Chain A
Amino acid sequence: MSPLPARAPRAWLTEPVESGPSAGFGVYLHVPFCHHRCGYCDFATAAVGDRGADDQQALFVRYVTALTTDLGHQVAAGRRAHAAAADRDALDPRWPEVTSVFVGGGTPTLLGGPLLADVVRAVGRELDVAPGAEVTVECNPETASVELFAALVDAGVTRVSMGAQSFAPHVLATLERGHTPQRPVEAIAQAREAGIAELNLDLIYGTPGETAADWRRTLETVLAAGTDHVSAYALTIHDNTAFGRAVAAGRLPTVDEDVQRDRFEVAREVLGAGGFEHYEVSNWSLGPARRSRHNLLYWRHGDYLGVGVGAHAHLTGRRWWTTRSTDRYLAAVEDGASPIAGSEELTDTERAEERLLLGLRLRDGLHPNDVPRIEPLALADAMAVGLVETACGRLRCTETGWFLLDDAVTRLLP
């Protein structure tokens, strides 16, 4: 019997089975406009609600032009130009086929059907999109209509992700959302009618004032709405937001850890009973085929381009991102300059850190060949306290460890 060939120490980076380049290749496009900035939100957005309709339209047209220009430039620069210096020469200069496209926000649907369709089509003009690729657009319920979705289907959109957040009116009020509780359910029906194949609803739990009953009812409403995917996020309060300032001033209670954990358990229970598989800390789908492929790409440490304001990109160990200011973004692109605001080349240790912190978010964890080197003592410790486990050689979180993931990962790190 011949011994197994010894794997090279960097094989988890150079020959991954599911991770990194093996996970596919995506394009993220950011649309930074919102009608109003919600109190908890720290995404790159610009509130445009107080502008006149013409003014808004002119801005949107300018932005879409800049976005497509930016995409064109990033693609034209070539794959090697974006790679880490050390990996540059070994890299195939051709762009791979795009396996997922994600148009996120902000509120992309504020652009309206035709402009948004232009954004989606731009990807197909610049790169080869794989047959059957997932093409997602984020949608705010109050902006939805059958015409809008029809225009998107026409442009190749396969999936819509809608921000419902809650179905309790007082929670929506606290979250400063501009839609009624019924609206997301209607909007999902409209999307289905227009022929969007995959549908997701985003929820937020643990909002101050939300009761256990509110949350249960929200989950039940989601089941009734008939989507194939649900994302449920624990409310995170950032210092630099209206909520952060309200908490600092004592006007808003902080989010309670125990409440969040209780809500998490209820979500697992209700969605599980509704046939949903809990495949990532905050994500559920009706079976493996309906998982969000673009988000899987992130968690599997994959490569993706990022276009638009405040967009992030990754290519085998190098990350870069664009400015968070819409004004600066427009000025740069219109000037023929680069909107890129920063970049970093990761060390192998940092890449190992990322591989773990992303990969362990998935219920399936990491393929044995994709696991970075971990100190045996650190692994033994994390296993002994019941945070991680191995299953058929895969490294993954335990049921308890999942919601204590940061602890698990910091224990595994050097």
Chain B
Amino acid sequence: MTYAIDRIRNFCIVAHVDHGKSTLADRMLQLTELVDPRKMRDQYLDKMDIERERGITIKAQAARLPYLPLGEAGGEYLLNLIDTPGHVDFSYEVSRALNACEGAVLLVDAAQGMEAQTIANLYLAVEADLEIIPVLNKIDLPAARPDEVAREIASIIGGEPEDVLRISAKTGEGVREVLDAIVDRVPPPKGDLDGPPRALIFDSIYDPYRGTLVYFRVVDGSFRPGDKIHLMATGFEGEIDDLGVHSPEETPIDALGVGEVGVLSAAIKDVAQAKVGDTITLAGKGWEAVPRLPGYREPLPMVFSGVYPIDSDDFPQLREALDKLRLNDASFSFEPETSAALGFGFRCGFLGLLHLEIVIERLDREFDIPLITTAPSVRYRVVMERDDPETGEPRVLSVSNPQDLPEPNQIRAIEEPTVLAMILTPSEYVGKVMQLCEGRRGTMIAMDYPTEERVELRYLLPLASIITDFFDTLKSISRGYASLDYEIGDYVAADLVRVDLLLNGEPVDAFSAIVHRDDAYAFGRSMVETLKELIPRQMFDVPVQAAIGAKIIARETIKAKRKDVLAKCYGGDVSRKRKLLEKQKEGKKKMKSVGSVEVPQEAFVSALRSGSAKSDS
């Protein structure tokens, strides 16, 4: 059925990681009796395996809920819910969701209180001009401090602490009141019912059976199966084959009108033809006159890592796997590169560390190609000494692989990406947090007290400093209470050098890193120590050295191995001996021979992670 526009409410649920968004969505699905009780499971809308295993939301998900408030005589309302991810790597998903709504439920864990993404998402919602409904969740927890947290919320968004709804998404208590508040307070969508149809694409994914699926929200007019559509940015034209809504499973529908959210397929072969943020209109005469909707800023990869097959024969399979993954995740990038140590591979770009981890895990799980990933790095701007002969301007290189850094004498300056970090911490940890930020070359920009017990710190930090173990350290020095959010900042010049690592006298390009000159010695030292730990003893002594240019700054030796035999009486149990040996052989296959040294997979990533951890203390 179609709904009158004043019966439609579009809202999203936003919150810090783990404050219970997906669980609240579960209760809403149940309350509106949309899911067969036998099929219900926790975080129903988290569909991907990785989401379910990690218990986090990665992709925003929409669901259409018909809702009849108690005692309501005027008929059903249509609520379009969008559940969003909480993790900072996926905050672009939140921005898109906000653009498709008129209201946002701001969920706050009553035990944790406000955290960095609570505030960041609140600002995004205010900027998008949404009606904000603050809700305290998890009041069933013994550690819940509802009064205190309600005061915190009220002091930040205004209003009275008593107006903050209190619920438990776990038990379902108070969830009906949230739905009622949405009906009462969120305005219905606005749009031209009879104007030329326009819709905004907020997601597009590739389905191997159905081609590209386009998720969109209707802004003006209406769409029907069979309509010939035109996508304004890419010029794609085609007929709508299927039109559907999620309730929460995809269900066909015969029309979608102003304010409604749905999905369509139109024989779009390449997802790139259905760009997120593009405007859908009808093909034929007059589409040129239809104004385009404001799109989205495309999320840019910020963190880079080299991805190499351990067995070089797997290179074509790796390319194919990356191509396939990108169909469903346009936010990561890859281009071929070569390494003297690792052979042929790809430099991949990710939104952040969690995103990197997830993509690598999917490659491993869905394509089963043994991989080596190099330590994450950022993209530097390198201003060269020599000007570009054509423009007369200095030449600028973009370097995301430390190996591509030119010789120091050719470089005028190196600039690195920064982030504007916002850290929310209970005041007792503020000293330690400041120490951490300063140790990672941070510059304080502001310090605020949004509430009595909480301090909001704003720092300008090199992005490189936070893509190692910054977050883990922040959590451990604050017993888990400090939280971090960041936005990408400008490029800033810094005194950076490349530290190389040598095994057995041979430089191993995959271990090179660009670091600040002041950190180079500590970094080199901890790297050689870490590699000494991680690389198993070989048939001969292996020197491990760190160097800047030709100058050795640290050195350790991996002593030759001296014992590798089961020198124990096993009697007749030969099967066990053979199986142990087969396991060893498998383990060896996961090593990469670099020169004549066998290096385990983990060494390439964990070496740098622990490297920075040590230079902290």
Complex partner residue of A386 from B539, B567, B575, CB under 8 angstroms: B539
Is B564 within 8 A of A258, CB to CB?
no
Contact A354 B563 (CB under 8 A): no
Q: Are A314 and B574 in contact (CB under 8 A)?
A: yes
- Tell me the chain B residues, 535-568 only, with Cβ under 8 Å from chain A: 537, 539, 559, 561-568
Q: Which of B364-423 contact A (CB under 8 A)?
A: none
Cα of A344 to Cα of B565 in the assembled complex, Å? 24
Q: Interface 1/0s, chain B 561-585, versus A by CB < 8 A? A: 1111111110111110110011011
The reply to whether B584 and A312 form a contact with Cβ atoms under 8 Å apart is no
Which residues of chain A come closer than 8 Å to B581, judged between CB atoms? 353, 357, 406, 409-410, 413
A298 to B573, CA, bound (A): 9
* Nearest B residue to A43, CB-CB: B571
Expressed in whole angstroms, the minimum distance between the Cβ of B140 and any Cβ of chain A is 36
Chain A nearest CB: distance from B198 CB in Å? Answer: 64
A window 214-269: CB within 8 A of B: 231, 233-236, 257-258, 260-261, 264
**Chain B residues within 8 Å of A321, by CB:** 573, 575
User: What is the CB-to-nearest-CB distance from A202 to chain B, in angstroms, rounded to a whole number?
Assistant: 7
A137 to chain B, nearest CB (A): 14
- Interchain CB contact under 8 A, A261 and B572: no
A341 to B563 alpha-carbon distance, docked (Å): 33
B572-606 residues with Cβ-Cβ distance < 8 A to A are 572-575, 577-578, 581-582, 584-585, 588
What chain B residues lie within 8 Å of A410 (beta carbons)? 581, 584-585, 588
**Is the beta-carbon distance between A403 and B564 smaller than 8 angstroms?**
yes
Given contacts A409-B581, A410-B584, contact A354 B574 (CB under 8 A): yes
Whether A350 is near chain B, meaning CB under 8 Å from some CB there, is yes
Q: Quick one: given A234-B567, A257-B562, A281-B565, are A406 and B584 in contact (CB under 8 Å)? A: yes
Query: CA A384 – CA B578 in complex, angstroms?
Result: 24
B582 CB → nearest A CB, Å: 8
- Could you say which of B559, B565, B568, B578 has the most chain A C-beta atoms within 10 Å of its C-beta? B565
B578 lies within 8 A of A350 (CB): yes
Contact call A312/B575, Cβ cutoff below 8 A:
yes
Given A357-B581, A406-B584, do A264 and B571 touch, yes or no (CB 8 Å)?
Answer: no
Q: How far is the CB of A31 from chain B (nearest CB, A)?
A: 13
Across-interface contacts of B559 in A (CB, < 8 A): 258
Residues of A within 8 A of B539 (CB): 385-387, 404, 407
Residues from chain A with Cβ under 8 Å of B571 in the complex: 28, 104, 298, 312
Q: Is A284 interfacial (CB 8 A cutoff)?
A: no
Q: How far is the CA of A386 from the CA of B571 in the complex (A)?
A: 28
B584: chain A residues at CB < 8 Å are 406, 410
CB-contact partner of B563 in A264, A304, A385, A386, under 8 A: A264
Chain B CB within 8 A of A171 CB: no
Main secondary structure of the interface of A (DSSP, over half): mixed
> Is B567 within 8 A of A264, CB to CB?
yes
A403 CA / B587 CA spacing, docked (Å): 19
Which chain A residues border B567 with CB–CB below 8 Å? 233-234, 236, 260, 264, 281-282, 403
Whether A404 touches B585, Cβ cut-off 8 Å, given contacts A314-B572, A314-B574, A354-B574, is no
Interface centre among A28, A402, A407 (most CB of B within 10 A): A407
Q: Are A233 and B573 in contact (CB under 8 A)?
A: no
State in angstroms the CA–CA spacing of A202 and B571 once bound together.
13
How far does the Cβ of B600 sit from chain A's closest Cβ, in whole Å?
15
Q: Check if A403 sits within 8 Å of B562, measured CB to CB.
A: yes
**Contact for A357 among B563, B569, B577, CB less than 8 A:** B577
Chain A min CB distance to B301 (Å): 40
Q: Which residue of A lies closest to B587 (CB)?
A: A410
Interchain CA distance A36-B362 in the complex, whole Å: 50
State in angstroms the CA–CA spacing of A195 and B578 once bound together. Answer: 38
A312 touches B574 (CB 8 A): yes
A313 within 8 A of B: yes
| Whole-angstrom CA separation of A319 from B576 in the bound complex | 11
Q: How far is the CB of B286 from chain A (nearest CB, A)?
A: 70
Q: How far is the CB of A366 from chain B (nearest CB, A)?
A: 16
Nearest-Cβ distance from residue A280 to partner chain B, whole angstroms:
10
Query: Which of chain B's residues have a CB closer than 8 A to the CB of A386?
Result: 539
B565 contacts A311, CB within 8 Å?
A: no
Contact indicator A405/B565 (Cβ below 8 Å): yes
Closest to A320 in B: B575
Closest to B568 in A: A236
Which chain B residues lie closer than 8 Å to A282 at the CB level?
567-569
Q: For the complex formed, measure the closest distance between the CB of B304 and the CB atoms of chain A, giving whole angstroms.
A: 35
B572–A312 touching, CB < 8 Å: yes
Shortest CB-to-CB span from A21 to chain B, Å, is: 16
A-chain residues with CB within 8 Å of residue B577 when the two chains form the complex: 357
Q: Report the separation of the CA atoms of residues A312 and B577 in the bound assembly, to the nearest whole angstrom.
A: 12
Question: Across the interface, which residues of B come within 8 angstroms of A405, CB to CB?
Answer: 564-565
Interface residues as binary, A278-307 with B (CB distance below 8 Å gives 1, 0 otherwise): 000110000000000000001000001010
Let me know if A298 and B575 touch, CB within 8 A. Answer: no
Q: Are A234 and B568 in contact (CB under 8 A)?
A: yes
* Cα-based distance from A235 to B566 in the complex (angstroms): 10
| CB neighbors of B among A330-363 (8 A) | 344, 350, 353-354, 357-358
Set of chain B residues within 8 Å of A306, measured between Cβ atoms: 572
Kindly report which residue of chain B lies nearest to residue A301, judged by CB atoms: B574
Choose one: B561, B563, B573, B582; the contact of A234 (CB below 8 Å).
B563
B495 to chain A, nearest CB (A): 42
- Residues on the A chain within 8 Å of B562, using CB: 257-258, 260-261, 403-404
Instruction: Considering the complex, give the chain B residue whose CB is closest to the CB of A261.
Output: B562
Which residues A102-135 have CB closer than 8 A to chain B? 104
CA distance A404 to B538 in the complex (A): 10
A342 smallest CB distance to B (angstroms):
9
Task: Give complex CA distance A236, B537 in Å.
Answer: 19
Q: How far is the CA of A386 from the CA of B578 in the complex (A)?
A: 23
Which residues of A are found within 8 Å of B563, using beta-carbon distances? 234, 257-258, 260-261, 264, 403-404
Bound complex: CA of A304 vs CA of B565, how far in Å? 24
Closest to A413 in B: B585
> Which of the listed residues A28, A358, A410 has the most CB atoms from chain B within 10 Å of its own CB?
A410
Q: How far is the CB of B567 from chain A (nearest CB, A)?
A: 4
A233 in contact with B574 given A260-B563, A404-B539 (CB within 8 Å): no
Q: For residue B596, which residue of chain A has the nearest CB?
A: A385
Q: How far is the CB of B590 from chain A (nearest CB, A)?
A: 13
- For the complex, give the distance between the alpha carbons of A190 and B567 in Å: 29
CB atoms of A233 and B569 under 8 A apart: yes
- Cα of A258 to Cα of B539 in the assembled complex, Å: 14
Instruction: Collect the chain A residues with CB atoms within 8 Å of residue B578's CB.
Output: 350, 353-354, 357
List B415-465 residues whose CB lies under 8 Å from chain A: none
A258–B537 Cα gap in the complex (Å)?
Answer: 11
Closest Cβ–Cβ distance, residue B504 to chain A (whole Å): 14
* Alpha-carbon separation in the docked complex, A409 to B584 (Å): 10
Q: Please, how many angstroms separate the alpha-carbon atoms of A94 and B559 in the complex?
A: 54
Q: Which chain A residue shows the least CB distance to B573?
A: A312
* Distance between Cα atoms of A298 and B574 in the complex (Å): 8
Q: Which of A104, A312, A350, A402 contacts B565 (CB 8 A)?
A: A402
B568 neighbours in A (Cβ, 8 Å):
233-236, 282
Interchain nearest-CB distance for A389 vs B (Å): 15
Asked if residues A298 and B585 are in contact (CB atoms below 8 Å), the reply is: no
CB <8 Å contact, A407 and B564:
yes
B566 interface neighbour in A236, A312, A344, A353, Cβ under 8 Å: A236
CB distance from B533 to the nearest CB of A (A): 14
- The complex places the Cα of A385 from the Cα of B567 at a distance, in Å, of 21
- A353 contact set on B, CB distance < 8 A: 578, 581-582
Once bound together, how far apart are the Cα atoms of A406 and B580, in whole Å? Answer: 10
List 13 A-B pairs, Cβ < 8 Å: A233-B567, A233-B568, A235-B568, A258-B562, A264-B567, A312-B571, A312-B574, A312-B575, A403-B564, A403-B567, A406-B581, A410-B581, A410-B584
Knowing that A350-B578, A407-B561 are A-B contacts, what are 4 other residue pairs whose CB atoms are under 8 Å apart, sorted by A's residue number? A264-B563, A312-B572, A354-B574, A404-B562
**B residues touching A (Cβ–Cβ < 8 Å)?**
537, 539, 559, 561-569, 571-575, 577-578, 581-582, 584-585, 588
Closest 8 CB pairs of A and B: A261-B562, A312-B572, A234-B567, A405-B565, A236-B568, A404-B564, A410-B585, A257-B563
